Amino acid sequence: MGYRENPRPGGRSARVQAAVHQSVRDMLSTMDRADVTIPLIAQRANVTPSTIYRRWGDLQELLADVAASRLQPDGAPPKIGSARDDLEAWVEQYADEMASGVGREMIRDVLSAADATNAERCSGYTQHQLCVLIARAKEYGEAFPTLVELMDHVISPIMYRVLFDQAPGTDYVRELIARAMPRDTSRT
Amino acid sequence: MGYRENPRPGGRSARVQAAVHQSVRDMLSTMDRADVTIPLIAQRANVTPSTIYRRWGDLQELLADVAASRLQPDGAPPKIGSARDDLEAWVEQYADEMASGVGREMIRDVLSAADATNAERCSGYTQHQLCVLIARAKEYGEAFPTLVELMDHVISPIMYRVLFDQAPGTDYVRELIARAMPRDTSRT
DNA sequence: CCACTAACGCAAATTATTTGCTTTTGTGCA
DNA sequence: TGCACAAAAGCAAATAATTTGCGTTAGTGG
């Protein structure tokens, strides 16, 4: 029972996890998602199906785990200029990524697992990136929205559209940000 | 092939659908959702599993269909007083319903189906209710947010929290509404 | 009342999932 | 180094879910 949260790198367990994740990514990119099954994933990863079942439980949990890993940001948001510019650029790429076919499927995977851990992981990633931007604004002495304001009025609307409707465009993102900025900084 | 979207009431197809929906609702309320399977649903509904498979495809689609039906509002938002009061009351009950264990599961069911139809259905229900409130405000001559503003800055943040984090409280809902109201109406 | 067809039931074939037991592999300690 | 231990993987049989071909039923329209 009980897999370590951070298996020692190089250990057998870590190798299996890597192989399975890789296998899932490959399959998702080459075939229809409805045809992705645990026995197939296992075969491609050179692993027994029962290993996957015991470790992840079912396909949804596995997909959620893989999706959450893929949603983990590469590094800090790029520095463009002002904190606001950085924010706009970062949110735009965030919205693009989420609105893309692949992004939507990853979010759906993360949300449809019974275990909420991976959903929280994703939300955590987003909040962490925003905190970096907030810290930058503080350093520069720029007026800036709080984390809660950004989550509620910039991230949430984007996510809702991605999940329920259609893609949020670039202009839309900029308007959300403008609306979230503190009054004295707001433009026309 | 091809089930009518609105099967004639009283027809065989409609009876089967009703029995299956009922069976799903019963099972979700009495047993753990992980134990709900199509063969069991079929048995309780006095129907063959293959009927369900042919009609809905898989468990997720069926659950999404049932959940969307249950999320359909009973009637127009109650009239309390001003349109704003009505809005606050309606959004509060909306948030409560969504944040409850059952509500969260229904939303998750709706979102995890491959077919986005049921998700759009739900979003449509919400927008319809809001439109009623907006029309009321117009009738009363009250300043009121637009549909887009309400969806983006009241509904979306609630939904995000329900999906990714924890329950939005009553105070939180009121703050969202206060923030969404047009400036000249806003309170301290 | 008859012909037509969409939707259902049944049962066999396939595929996925679970589970008991064995074997492997990495870890800690002498 | 080498031995003992435990966690995780493999294997295969048993169970359960899904798919599918074909016959039957029940609404619908003429």
Q: B63: closest CA among A98, A120, B71?
A: B71
Q: Work out if B40's Cβ lies within 7 angstroms of strand D.
A: yes
Q: For B1-57, which CATH superfamily applies?
A: Homeodomain-like (1.10.10.60)
Q: B90: closest CA among B52, B131, B143, B53?
A: B131
CA gap B5, A157 in Å, rounded: 30
Low-confidence ranges of chain B (pLDDT < 70): 1-2, 4, 184-188
Residues ≥6 apart with Cβ < 8 Å to B141: none
Predicted pLDDT of residue A184: 54
Domain map (residue ranges) of chain B: 1-57, 71-185
Low-confidence ranges of chain A (pLDDT < 70): 1-2, 4, 184-188
Contact A52, A20 (CB under 8 A): yes
CATH fold of B71-185: Tetracycline Repressor; domain 2 (1.10.357)
Q: What share of chain A is helix, strand, coil (3-state, %, to 5)?
A: 70, 0, 30
Q: Work out if A99's Cβ lies within 7 angstroms of strand C.
A: no
Predicted pLDDT of residue A153: 98
DSSP state of A136: H
Q: A64: closest CA among A7, A12, A122?
A: A122
Q: A111: closest CA among B168, A103, A13, A80?
A: A103
- Are the beta carbons of B152 and A153 separated by less than 8 Å? yes
Q: B27: closest CA among B71, B72, B74, B66?
A: B66
Residues of A in contact with B60 (CB under 8 A): 112
- Are the beta carbons of A160 and B152 separated by less than 8 Å? yes
> Which among B120, B122, B157 is the nearest to A152, CB-wise?
B157
CA gap A86, A82 in Å, rounded: 6
Predicted pLDDT of residue B2: 62
Look at domain A12-57 and name its CATH class. mainly alpha
Residues of A in contact with B114 (CB under 8 A): 33-34
Predicted pLDDT of residue B49: 98
Residues of B in contact with A60 (CB under 8 A): 112
